[in-house]
Amino acid sequence: MSTSSLAGHTIELLDRVVRSGLPSDRVVHDFYKERRYLGSHDRRWITEKLYGIIRNFILLQDISGKCTNAQSPFHTFLIYEMAIASSGCEELDKNYSQLIETYRAAGERIELEELAGCVTKRLETVNSDPAASHLRNSFPDFFTELLPENVRIDAVPIMTALNHEGRVCIRVDTNRIKRDDAARVFGEKGIETGLTEYSPLGLYLPKRINLNNEQLYKDGLIEIQEEASQMVGILVDPKEGETIVDACAGAGGKSLEVAALSAGKARVYALDVDATRLKNLGSRTTRCGYTNITSVKVSDANLGEAVSLAGSADKVIVDAPCSGSGTIRRNPDKKFRLTRAAVEKHARYQETILKRYADLVKVGGLLVYSTCSIFSEENFGVVNAFLASDGRFTREDVSLYLVGEKFSEMIDDGFLAIYPHRHEMDGFFAAVMRRVS
């Protein structure tokens, strides 16, 4: 396929991503499913361009607003080539001549030299402005204000780290296979893995591979799970005979982790409002061979059958829906979709569900709250508000559960607070609370 045609597909896909409001990976998947004629090289070219644009979208939109009359996906693509890919006008005219002529024939006024001059001037202004660090990194102007006060000084390193693609991490079911043995199996296939530093369960892969073709995956011995997310299972430390509730189970990654860490001997209840997700968890459970996970459909209005668990759970995990600000490495479209109002809405909802699922914890049991956010309002704010309103619970220092010097830099005032620029993981937060009455 010609470069102009590939660019045309990229522009069409970019338009879909921006307009849809859905996660970009889902839009990309559907786009390629509709266009099976695109080969692997074509898809790789389109995907790399697309995500390059998405990571820089806020900056590109700013430049487009200053240098064009129409902030169209086509202009965004051209500005990306000029500002980020450093393509000159002659190179653009050569590589995308067919595409450019098509837009000119449709009535677009396209003067590459004029546009390039404006792009260069705007970039010089942004790069020389100390107050424009958010634009240079293509983040909303309020991003720094949402961070906890003690890390705002690191806002630029945080943004820089979030702009780098995250490594592929898998969790090994160490109940059934040693981590080193799983690494050896990959090594025998020429895939050199790296051990996760903080989680004793994880391996980093050098690149994305189709796990469906790997026997380790077919046998349920490995699962895709980010290292930061694996820390929840380590905090929970499930024991034989315990009743453990994964209150916002989603795709079930933490339910599966807890089931494995208990060697299949804890009673795990996976709760979610989405029946489809619970159905998918069922197929994953079958593959992994664990029979100690029970899926329970709940709703925003009530706990449904889960009400029978009230006051009986040894440990309850509330991995709350959130802004996902800590996962921007993997989901860069979250940057331009982010709003203050959305973060405030998430925090209110998080407080609601934390209060709801707290009732499931028995006296003496633990409530573990976590998010994949790095914003203070969704993390420290929610936990402190909950503790102020519910005298049944007291906060415990996570260092009681994450023992060792290597964890000390991840603990902030007794909370687990992971930041990508410090730990090379997704941003993550967790708090442990004990029910005392």
Residue pLDDT, tens place only, 198-241: 999 999 999 888 898 999 999 999 999 999 999 999 999 999 99
Residue 301 has what pLDDT?
Answer: 79
pLDDT digits (tens, 9 = 90+) for 135-157: 999 999 999 999 999 999 999 99
pLDDT digits (tens, 9 = 90+) for 340-388: 999 999 999 999 999 999 999 999 999 999 999 999 999 999 999 999 9
- Domain assignment present for 152: no
Whole-number Å distance between alpha carbons of 433 and 354? 11
- Domain assignment present for 90: yes
pLDDT digits (tens, 9 = 90+) for 160-209: 999 999 999 999 999 999 999 999 999 999 999 999 999 999 999 998 88
Residues 431 and 304 reside in one and the same domain: yes
Only one residue has tokens 């989405």, namely 274
Residues in contact with 279: Cβ distance below 8 Å, sequence separation at least 6, in sequence order: none
Residues in contact with 366: Cβ distance below 8 Å, sequence separation at least 6, in sequence order: 236, 314, 315, 316, 396, 432, 433, 434, 435
Whole-number Å distance between alpha carbons of 259 and 83? 49
Residues 234 and 203 reside in one and the same domain: no
pLDDT digits (tens, 9 = 90+) for 18-64: 999 899 999 999 999 999 999 999 999 999 999 999 999 999 999 99
Owning domain of residue 358: 228-435
Judged against a pLDDT cut of 90, whether residue 425 lies above it is answered with yes
- Domain assignment present for 162: no
Residues 207 and 321 reside in one and the same domain: no
- Domain assignment present for 242: yes
- Domain assignment present for 291: yes
- Residue 71: which pLDDT band, with cuts at 50, 70 and 90? confident
Residue where a domain stops, chosen among 138, 160, 195: 138
Residues 42 and 177 reside in one and the same domain: no
Strands 411-412 and 168-172: unpaired
Mean pLDDT of the chain: 94
Residues 131 and 211 reside in one and the same domain: no
Residues 197 and 254 reside in one and the same domain: no
Residues 195 and 235 reside in one and the same domain: no
Whole-number Å distance between alpha carbons of 291 and 300? 27
Residue 108 has what pLDDT?
Answer: 79
Residue with the bigger pLDDT between 97 and 394: it is: 394
- Domain assignment present for 16: yes
Between CA 306 and CA 315, with CA 309 as vertex, the angle to 5 degrees is 110
Residue 209 has what pLDDT?
Answer: 87
Judged against a pLDDT cut of 80, whether residue 70 lies above it is answered with no
Judged against a pLDDT cut of 90, whether residue 251 lies above it is answered with no
Judged against a pLDDT cut of 90, whether residue 299 lies above it is answered with no
Residue where a domain stops, chosen among 179, 194, 224: 224
**What's the longest Cα–Cα distance across the chain?**
74
Q: What is the CATH number of the domain that holds 348?
A: 3.40.50.150
What's the sign of the alpha-carbon dihedral 82, 85, 90, 96? Answer: negative
Judged against a pLDDT cut of 90, whether residue 104 lies above it is answered with no
The alpha helices in 253-339, defined as continuous H runs, are 253-261, 275-288, 334-337
Number of folded domains that form the chain: 3
- Residue 280: which pLDDT band, with cuts at 50, 70 and 90? confident
Residues 303 and 418 reside in one and the same domain: yes
Residue 279 has what pLDDT?
Answer: 87
Residues 242 and 121 reside in one and the same domain: no
Whole-number Å distance between alpha carbons of 265 and 259? 7
Residue where a domain stops, chosen among 200, 224, 248: 224
Whole-number Å distance between alpha carbons of 426 and 329? 7
Residues 205 and 235 reside in one and the same domain: no
Residues 241 and 350 reside in one and the same domain: yes
- Domain assignment present for 420: yes
Q: What is the CATH number of the domain that holds 182?
A: 3.30.70.1170
- Domain assignment present for 163: no
Residue 138 has what pLDDT?
Answer: 98
Residues 384 and 400 reside in one and the same domain: yes
Q: What is the CATH number of the domain that holds 129?
A: 1.10.940
